[in-house]
Structure formats: structure tokens, C-alpha cells
Amino acid sequence: MTVRQGYRIELAPTPAQAARLGQHAGLSRVVENFCLEKVKAALAQREAEQSYGIPAGELTAVPWSAPALERLWRTEHADRYPWFAAEGLSSRIPKEACRVRAAGFKNFFDSRSGKRKGARVGFPSWRKRKHGSRFRYDSDRARPAHHRAVHLPGIGKVRTREDMTWLTGRIADGTARVIGATVKGQAGRWWVSFQIETDRTEVNRARQAAQDAPACGIDVGVKTFATVVDDDGTVTHIHAPKPLKAALRKLRRANQALSRTAKGSANRAKATRRVAKLHLDVAHQRADFLHKTTTTLARTKRAIAVETLNVAGMTRNRRLSRAIADLGFGEFYRQVAYKADWYGAEVWAADRWFPSSRLCGDCGAVNAALTLADRTWQCGCGTVHNRDVNAARNLLTAMQRDQQAA
């Protein structure tokens, strides 16, 4: 089973290497803005030409594609950005930055035409320092040098904080290859994410869910992150750490301290790093919980029934938006789906309008008056339901019914 997946590792650069990483991140930002500038200039020129009555076939061409943007960069960078060659920065960064911009334009048009699913994508905007530091390498230009270091063009050999034997061993025996790499900096720390193509057959077989493993239904919520009901009647409640809620007090104080510092001062830089570190800790705690939870479910369940939630719509509720965003429902479902595919489990998603919480599992009646505040409710048939357990059980029953019909 050959799949594409990411492999993220933290770097341990020297101060000189960290400065060099920052230079390459700045180069990527400059090239992305250069591309946007050229596209906007061409669009403005076309608009002016149309007002002059120039035929459509003779209007100025807009450089939407990556090759067209790359040609413009190669033509103009020597005059406009002489520091690019003078500093000896990697030539692969502008190439990938042009591809990133071209992909953004394509996503915008695909979203407008309906080819791209999901929320509407806006027209690409200017990239700024506050948007974060990142840049990309194509193919295997960036690659592991050995199990404790990576080779990054234009930077050199950079040590890593973790062992990469899992990846280097597979590259050596030909079961994995690097097809791209993204370097990202946050809160003074740097990571490289390798996009790899690897054969997971042996790994998946060794960790596959047992044939007699239970099937389950999962109901997610704010109070209890996930209520899992197995087909043998076992009920498991999974509680999330809610890292943002736990860190709000520290974040308020850190932001207040930041607001009191002078712009451009050393104290402001320190305060900014502290705020960034707190946000990074929150993101890491959430990611750790989600990965451990979804891996356990995918490796211990034969089939998993889940809801189809409109998470973007749920976050529009001003009273619940922060709590919902803190839990990461969308990422939870994404990870369950691909990990279940790895380990041989089946994921069944209910229709978005399936009344899992309102449906009585005994008589089939729907309680239209149920509100979010009702944690338990009694049906007209006399059955008393726990809201979350009933929802998870209804999802499991619906999946079993669907499987039998198939």
C-alpha cells in the first residue's frame, strides 16, 4: 500500500543557521508578493486596455501559471533584488514560491466555479511577516543526511532534535522517497516537514485492527469530547484537555505585557516570543491529544460510525465558537478517516441531517424539542436517554443497518 504522508521533525540549528533559515523564509515571502504584484499589474493593464476598446484576443496576458511567474522572476530579480544572488540563497525557494502562488490562484477560480469543495476561497493577498515564516523545497532537494541531520540547500547540514531512523531506514531500503519538504518557523523554533511516498503495507499489517474488534459509534460534544459506544454495549467517555481554555489566563497576561512594551524594543521582542510560545504549546497539546485518540480508535475498532458536522457553521455561534475551535472536531474526523484507511477499519459517516441526539433508540420517535442544554431526556415511550450515549448508539445502529442492507 503506497501512500503519501508527512514526516515532521524539529531542527536544532546553530544561530548562524537560524539566521539563514530566516533569510530563506523572507525570500519566499518576497517572491510570493512579487508574483501577486505581477498578476495585479496585468489585471489592471487589461482593464485599461478594455476601456480603450482593444479586442479580447489582444489584451495583456495574465501570468496565472507557475512557469509564467518563474520566467518573470528570472528576468527581473537581478535588477530588483540583487541581494538574492549576493547572499547565495537557494534557487529552489523562488521556484516553489511561484508554485504556491499559482496554486492559490487556481484554488480561487476553482472555488468560484464550484470545482473546489468546502468554504469559498478568496483571492490571494499580500504575504506579511506576521503571517509566519515558511518556505518550500521541491523533490528531494531537502533530504535526511543521516538519522540525526538533514541537508537543506542554501543552508547546509542541520542537526535535528529527534531521531529519524524510521525515515532514513525506509529511504535506504527503497520503500520511501522524499517528494517535497516544507520548513517552518514558529516561536523561535524550526521544523522541516518531509512529504514522502512510502509503502505502508508491513506497518499497517502489523498494527491492523483485529478481526474480532468491536464496531462503535462516536458522538462528539463540547462537554464530553467523544462518547464511544461499542456493539458489545461498552460505553467510553473521552475527555479533551481543552488547552486553550487552560492557557487563557497566561495568554491574557502575556498579551497585556506585550501591549505595554515599546515598538522595536528588545523587551517587545521577548514579549512577542512569550505569546508565540504559549500559542505553540496550546497547538502541540491539542495535536498530541488528537493523534493519540484517533490512533487508538483506528487500531482497536473494526468499524467506526461518525457524524457529519458543519464545523464552520458551528463556530459561528459566538457563545460556543471558542470552545468548539479548542476541541478540533474537523481535525479529529480527518485523522480518523485516513488512519482507519491505514489500519483496515471502516468509517461510516451519517447524513448531516441525521437526528442522532433527538432520535429515540427504542421506539424511533424524534424529539424535536430537544435543546443543547438537555443532557438527558425522556421519550414518550418511557425510555430515559443520556443525550451523548443515545446519539452514539443511534449512529452505530444506523451503520449496522446500512451494512446489512448492502
C-alpha cell at 265: 524594543
Please list the active-site residues: 219, 307, 388
d(CA 59, CA 286): 51
Low-confidence ranges of the chain (pLDDT < 70): 406
Residue 16, classified by CB atoms within 10 Å of its CB into exposed (0-12), middle (13-18) or buried (19+), is exposed
pTM: 0.89
**Alpha-helical segments (H) within 237-328:** 243-259, 266-300, 311-314, 321-327
Query: Rounded to an integer, what distance in angstroms lies between the CA atom of residue 60 and that of residue 42?
Result: 6
Q: Give the Cα-Cα-Cα angle 115, 47, 67 (nearest 5 degrees).
A: 55
User: Other C-beta atoms within 10 Å of 378: how many?
Assistant: 11
Distance of CA 299 to the CA centre of its chain: 22
Q: Which domains does the chain have, with CATH numbers?
A: 2-201 (no CATH), 210-241+299-405 (3.30.420)
Q: What is the pLDDT of residue 405?
A: 84
Strand-pairing partners, residue 135, are 183
Helix (H, G, I), strand (E, B) or coil at 371: coil
pLDDT of residue 406: 67
Please tell me the predicted confidence (pLDDT) of residue 311.
86
**Average model confidence (pLDDT) across the chain:** 93
What is the model's pLDDT at position 57? Answer: 86
- pLDDT for 371 equals 86
